[in-house]
Chains A and B, each alone.
Chain A
Amino acid sequence: MTLRRRPVRIAAVLVGACLGIAACNRGDGGAPTVALVLKTLNNPFFVEMEQGAREAADSLGIELVVQAPEREIDVEKQMQIVENLLQRRVDALLITPSGSREIVPAVVKANEAAIPVVVVDTRVDAPALEEAGARISSFIGSDNVDGGRMAGRFVAERLGGQGRVAVLEGIPGHETGDSRLTGFREVLAEHPGLEIVSSQTANWERDQAFNVTQNVLQSHPDLDAIFAANDVMALGAVEAVAAAGRTGEIVIVGFDAQDDARIAIREERMDATIAQNPREMGRLAVISADRLLRGETVPAEQPVRIELVTGQQTGAVEAPAREE
């Protein structure tokens, strides 16, 4: 009977696959295990954060497990990953929340399992955290509101306080994007000559930013500046502006200072970006976990340096950004 043979065959394939994977993932020693759960791994920002975390983990003798949902916006998948890591009994959890409120149930579960939680990059919504009675040990991240202000001041200066500005927003409800926009709008409001003619989301994505920018250029051909809440979107805007043959006429400011953005600035296709330091965030996160596991305390807030990167500084800033 053929039906009898089928189970055996599937079984063989699956067992083989699993043992193969297991063999590649040895390393259960006595070292403490720390999990870093990222929003995604298809954004260089988080890849750099992972590198910083790995370097710190290697020097401290910590086993680091890095996991991320396929898509940055997948709050449910991130919850599943946290649940699965809690089952694995990691010793500490470092999270960059995909949703400021949606992560709270996962923090509650970690609290119940008595596993310390360090939040990186994106803040957890404080009222939601309090309401759930959940605790986090530390927050490590940039002051995004201040970064938004820096971007606003740069645009105001370049336009001489006079002009029409378009904004590319991240996914609504993300604390990082919202904070950057808050700071940016705050500064623009101080300049009556500056008008935000369009503020639309491109969901953190490059291709969506390209399309939105093209559309904005159709409806506002007299546009003077674009502020994107991250570099991925700013680079989409750069391409759309180039396609319209207007490179150099429209000031484009991004956020994150990714390598691609630094190159675009050096080539004068883009004007400025705000440097965060994801590598430092990853490093600090692992160091904090290590201290927590030793029973030491860590500060509740650990700000990471942030700075404006423009044409004159791209080379100069790159070096300190890579300091260990």
Chain B
Amino acid sequence: MALPRTKLLHGREVGTLAGLLALCAALWVATPHFATVSNLVNVVEQSAIIGIVAVGMTFVILTGGIDLSVGSIVALSGVALGTAHEAGLPIAAAAAVGLTVGLACGLGNGALITLGRLPPFIATLGMMSVARGIALMLSDGRPISGYPASFRALATGHVLGIPFPVILMLAIYAVAHFLLTRTLLGRYTYAIGGNEEASALSGINVRAYKAAAYAIAGLLSAVTSMLLVARLNSAQPIAGIMYELDAIAAVVIGGTSLLGGSGTVIGTLIGALIMGVLRNGLNLLGVSSYLQQVAIGSVIIVAVLVDMMLRRRARRAAE
């Protein structure tokens, strides 16, 4: 059972970070448009969407679970916000509605998994369809557009030249890192993922902490949806499709084990940035969109392959 790390960068993250830096270096050589301040800010800003969803996914995967519903929750929270705003609620109240809906979906997942004893894959697969369906019903399938500038500032605003989505993402990662490394919630999250039975026997309220992970994932999906609505000035019932896979990819590239119990959010941040930089770079280079999918898939496979190979070798060396 891996214990939470207190160091900011552990060996595994150093490796992933080196991968990110190498990718940046290669793009810097390949195109003059990559290593400009405005483009780097642009990349981090674009990575914020998947980056924030991936934080919640990290909590869930650390407990040994999976959450397939995050993309649908992004859509439903946004539509809930849009519907509330259209009905005449002030934007702050509408945003609160959206966030509450996201949190409720996450708690629903948690309840199905802990009280209903459903496998996470099944529970969240169901939620994925239910949330998407409700989003389509609420909105009648149509995007809900038009939000006040004060709300749109969430995506368009800057503080000292740094776009607000970047600040929000970094703040969320800082809080998540603190939770995972310095609090009981974090300690128990790792413990449950490492060995659920042993955790229960040692008196940890496994149900509560597992449900908490899904609640966090739901809430952060809702936060992402606020960013997305502000960015496009539109709440879309078809938003967030496949976000679950992008988020899982970011978590896995970041070195978190799908078996649970080991990994960090710092790794996930680097994983999300690798995906963002790769997409950005391939756009800058004008690579065909078919080839882009091949490249992104290959990076996921290579990252995990290398990681597993080295882990096996480390284990052999330790024996």
Contact = CB atoms under 8 A, between A and B. Distances in A.
Interface string A55-91: 0000000000111111101111001110111011100
B296 to A, nearest CB: 10
A226 interface: no
B283 A88 contact: yes
Contact of A76 (B18, B25, B36, B232): B232
Contacts of B142: 172-173
Contacts of B31: 22, 88
A99 B231 contact: no
A75 B29 contact: no
B143 A173 contact: yes
Contacts of A9: 306
B75 to A, nearest CB: 11
Interface in A97-126: 99, 101-102, 104-105, 125
Contacts of B29: 18-19, 22
Interface in B4-57: 11-12, 14-19, 21-23, 25-27, 29-31, 33, 36, 38-39, 42, 46, 49
B282 interface: yes
Given A101-B143, A101-B145, A84 B284 contact: yes
A7 B26 contact: no
A67 B306 contact: no
Interface in A12-33: 12-15, 17-19, 21-22, 24-25
Contact of B303 (A10, A69, A201): A10
B124 interface: no
A15 B21 CA distance: 10
A288 B295 CA distance: 33
A41 interface: yes
Contacts of B284: 84-85, 87-88
B46 A80 contact: yes
Contacts of A68: 289
B309 to A, nearest CB: 9
Assign chain A's interface to a size class: 35 or more
Contacts of A105: 156, 231-233
Main secondary structure of the interface of A (DSSP, over half): helix
Nearest to A68: B289
Given A2-B317, A75-B236, A88-B31, A21 B15 contact: no
Given A7-B18, A99-B234, A2 B306 contact: no
Interface string A184-217: 0000000000000000010000000000000000
A319 interface: no
A67 B313 contact: no
Contact of B306 (A10, A22, A41, A101): A10
A157 B288 CA distance: 44
B286 A83 contact: no
A15 B241 contact: no
A8 B49 CA distance: 29
A171 interface: yes
A128 B145 contact: yes
B283 A67 contact: yes
Contacts of A17: 26, 295, 298-299
A203 B232 CA distance: 20
Interface string A266-294: 00000000000000000000000000000
Interface of B: 11-12, 14-19, 21-23, 25-27, 29-31, 33, 36, 38-39, 42, 46, 49, 140-143, 145-146, 156, 228, 231-234, 236, 238-239, 241-242, 279-291, 293, 295, 298-299, 302-303, 306-307, 310, 313-314, 317
20 contacts: A3-B314, A6-B18, A6-B310, A7-B17, A9-B306, A10-B303, A11-B22, A12-B22, A14-B26, A21-B287, A41-B289, A68-B289, A70-B293, A80-B279, A80-B280, A84-B46, A102-B232, A102-B234, A171-B238, A173-B142
